[in-house]
Structure 1
């Protein structure tokens, strides 16, 4: 199973640890992740022109079983990725820290919205059988 991880990106990679922790939890549960900033841009070592970046992004979303959006911090790119996934029939699971504001539009297109206190709580939720149930697979 493959998940496209959508999360607010920063040029200084200030949330790299969070990306790594979420990816590790998914990997430990036999779910491969693709994260553009990590896998395509190699943490900022490679820079793409906007059109090429979006082409790569859309290809990766289409090749994924689901999109996992961490909306703890909002970003325009997250909305684009969510909209593209939804338009292409790719299921969306939204996660965010408890105090986050999730828009009704994202709630409306997500198969599930999960609020967490700490990332470790996601380990149980990321079990393949739980994900399959959420995605109706």
Structure 2
């Protein structure tokens, strides 16, 4: 039914239903810290879920076929996915966090902001304090 159900094993009662995939869910994997669930689907995506809230964190796209398998590394920093497209992909999860994305983005655009004559003086400092150049 394109959902993921979480169950309390002691009581046998459903905790919550996760909805968001557009196809059959073939695989799920809990992160080592128990805070995140990854799911792979025939909609060719992987979804990461916050288990405390039940909310979708992010959708990973990159496979051209059904995602049959997902598995976290022991340290939780990498997710492996196996697909019907005959590939296995490794996803670097820390790079998907907002702070990391903002840092990398600012590192890329900092030169443009500081050196382009069409950028206002106040906008030249939009990335101050973000990324590797603080």
More helix by share: 1
* TM-score, length of structure 2 as denominator length: 0.26
Say which one has the larger Rg. 2
The structure carrying a bigger strand percent of its residues is 2
| Structure possessing the higher relative contact order (Cα contacts under 8 Å, 6 or more residues apart) | 1
